[in-house]
Structure 1
Amino acid sequence: MCNLVPSVRALQQARPDIKITWVIGQAEYNLLAGLEGVTFRVYDKKTGIAGMRALRRQLLEERQGRPFEVLLHMQAALRASILSRFIPAKRRIGFDKARAKDWQGFFVSEHLLPHPNSHVGEGFLDFVRYLGAEPQQRQWSIPLPSEAEKEAAAWVSGKQPYLLLSPCSSNRARNWRNWSAEGYAQMIDHAWQAYGLNTVITGGNSPMEQQMVADIQALCAAPVINAVGKTSLKALLVLIRDAQLVVAPDSGPIHMAVAMGTPPLGLYVTSNPLRTGPWLPAEQLQSWIVNCYPAAVRQFLKREPEQVGWGQRVRDPAAIDLIRVEEVIMRLDHIMSAARATTAFEELKQ
């Protein structure tokens, strides 16, 4: 969801008078609430068709029966497509054929121009380009209320540096992304011994995530702050903003780190980081993440990366074993060395 915010900002820059209504899920709303110039309307997928009808009635009432000028269908999923038909609009714009998954093409009247082998964030910006605006520098500026600042401050002391670890991705069928507790523990101990970094572990409140943090704590000698299932999304953004770096598999906290300007050490093996990884310049992407995806494609799909689809996943739990502790530590060292060099340079200027 963070990757979509720069498209909103680009539209606002191109058309300062634009009025944007964003139909959004509850969790996503909790993350982005307060975004300037945006009216949010929350749809709970548990309400099904009844909820879609209620949303339509609400929108028509608010707009006195007038349809929206343009609907940007930016989520290529069947439920989102069905929901889009309950939103009154004169124009309905969706992805091009290659990116219009789950029959999205049948639910829209206009299609983006093809943009092969692009990052998902660039795919969202393609909607801005289609409307005739050229996006400038990417901007997020996600609001952080004072309550979130106070909540985050309760977890960390002001001057003690820390890394933020979000060890688990969402639990989806045949979608293996999570590294081992043993690997995380060795990385945590190195960060503590080499740089004096505390580790704040965050995540949801699922049994899988609770077990992961318990295993990590049992295996590492360094101090660990267990905030799993105990923070709001806004407070998580604050914790990410103030961390030295964020370590996580292919998951939301990696994109939140980019939005907050914090280095993301992403662990990628079963999904293509050039498509779904942190939205960074190529040099930083190569230096900051662990990218075992090409090796996984060769070993488990028996093909070269350029021979598979841009969004092809590796559906084998053994692929995660390709991530080596030594490479993760090397990326961490690189990020910390660059941070120290920047700090030293800033001190010289004072």
Structure 2
Amino acid sequence: MKHPLPARPEHICILRLSALGDVCNLVPTVRALQRQWPEARITWIIGKGEHSLLAGLSGVEFIVYDKATGVAGMRALWRELADTRFDVLLHMQQALRASVLSLGLKVDVRVGYDRARAKDAQHWFTQRHLAPHPRAHVLESFLDFARLLGVEDLSLAWDLPVPEAAVEEAADITGETPYVMINPCSSVRLRNFRNWSAEGYAAVIEHAWRQYGLKTVLTGGGSTQERQLGERIQALCPDDVVIDAIGQTSLKGLLALIRSARLVIAPDTGPVHMANALGTPVVGLYATSNVDRTGPYLWREFAVNRYADAVRTFLHKEPTELSWGQRVRHPDAMSLIRAEDVIDRLEAVLAQPEIPPDTESPDEA
């Protein structure tokens, strides 16, 4: 017998700890739940860094779990919520750590992914499962939770909070200079291979400057890899064209930089989804991952998409032969992207009016 879903939930728990791009893609689901049940409480259990990005999101109570605290942190969270009972848990984090954390929550019904999308045996920790949705974008997979609960209006909205202090932080970096923002690196992890070349970025930066008078702001974390790539890019560019903000912004400050940028260029990493959420044009650089699954949702047609070429070149298969979401983990995959490809997409974006694209319901797109 299926566990019944609440017809009108009073308290909804969302469990999604990471990552930055994913939590941005989840916000439209939160907004859809709020429109359907404006009186419902929404508690979101979220990671530490992700909370610093979304802090202040209207109508949401955040509970922060720092994975560095391990089991001790879980126990502290369980004690904090010991007297709280949720009508429904939307278990959106496909990781064993998150599933273990969920066991300490008092919940009437636990909702997770269908078997085709579930990972790390998540379906063993949930009682109701999403309807199958093959080849879904990550954003659409999150919206499937709202669909299962019976939410009718799935139009996209974000309204991310960008405080005045973050606006001032960004202004201290850029002044009144019009700029392109480039976040050249994706997150630093084993066998990631999502980063493009310094030479390619430098060619795009010089084109934006000579043709449009747009300087470039480089952003990213403070890792050695990111700093070194930023230095190589600057060394290849004309003087005073690049503003180096790598490792120098808070996440809210990064949001403010993105919001004021003429466009954002980045590989498959958090800032492409932040830009998408803020209505800032974005050119995503995709070869190791499938833009139809993880691309900036409203700007996928402007991405440089070499995923199919990478699959054929390095995996010797057709994309249709791969499981949905399989990555091409080869260090040369991003070399399939040429500078002229990115310049062409930059030109296409700059030819658009300076307004965000229409936000359609995924059912209508």
Indicate the TM-score class for this superposition, using the shorter chain for normalisation: over 0.9
Give the C-alpha shift of residue 318 in structure 1: 1.2
Q: Which residue of 1 aligns with 2:39?
A: 17
Q: For the residues of structure 2 that align with 1:172 and 1:73, how far apart are their CA atoms?
A: 25
Partner residue in 2 for 1:347: none
Q: Structure 2 residue aligned with 1:247, among 265, 274, 288?
A: 265
Q: How much does 1:4 deviate?
A: 0.4
Secondary structure of 2:92's match?
coil
Aligned mate of 1:305, from 315, 319, 332: 319
Aligned to 1:51, which of 63, 68, 73? 73
Deviation at 1:136, TM superposition (A): 3.0
Which of residues 121, 127, 130 is equivalent to 2:148?
130
Contact 1:56 1:88 in 2 (8 A): no
Correspondence for 2:61 among 21, 39, 45: 39
Aligned counterparts of 1:142 and 1:190: Cα–Cα separation in 2: 31
Structure 1 residue 48: Cα displacement: 0.8
Say which of 182, 185, 193 aligns to 2:199.
182
Which whole-Å deviations, capped at 9, do the CAs of 1:313-345 have from their partners, x for residues lacking one? 1111111110111101100111112247x79xx
Deviation digits for residues 84-112 of structure 1 (CA, Å, limit 9, x no counterpart): 11222111100000111111111111111
What TM-score, normalized by structure 1, do the two folds share? 0.93
Alpha-carbon distance in 1 for matches of 2:312, 2:221: 33
Tell me whether 1:141 sits opposite 2:159 in the alignment.
yes
* Equivalent of 1:331 in 309, 320, 345: 345
Q: Tell whether the 8 Å contact from 2:29 to 2:154 is kept in structure 1 after alignment.
A: no
Instruction: Return the TM-score normalized by structure 2.
Output: 0.89
Q: Which residue number in structure 2 is paired with residue 95 of structure 1?
A: 113
Q: How does 1:1-350 map to 2 (within 5 A)?
A: 1-60=23-82, 65-158=83-176, 160-221=177-238, 223-280=241-298, 284-286=299-301, 288-339=302-353
Question: Partner residue of 1:346?
Answer: none
Aligned residues: 333
CA distance in 2, matches of 1:151, 1:173: 32
Does the 8 Å CA contact 1:175/1:315 hold for their aligned counterparts?
yes
1:285 Cα deviation from its structure 2 partner: 2.0
- Tell me which protein shows more helix as a share of its residues: 1
- Mapped to 2, the partners of 1:322 and 1:118 lie a distance apart of 25
Identity of aligned residues (%): 57
AA of the residue aligned to 1:179: W
Specify the code of the residue in structure 2 equivalent to 1:219: L
Query: Offset at 1:66?
Result: 4.0
Which amino acid letter does the alignment assign opposite residue 289 of structure 1?
Answer: A
| Partner SS, residue 180 of structure 2 | strand
Summarize deviations over 1:19-40 as a string: whole Å, max 9, x none. Answer: 0111111110000000111110
CA distance in 1, matches of 2:283, 2:297: 12
Q: Which runs of 5+ in 2 are unaligned?
A: 1-22, 357-365
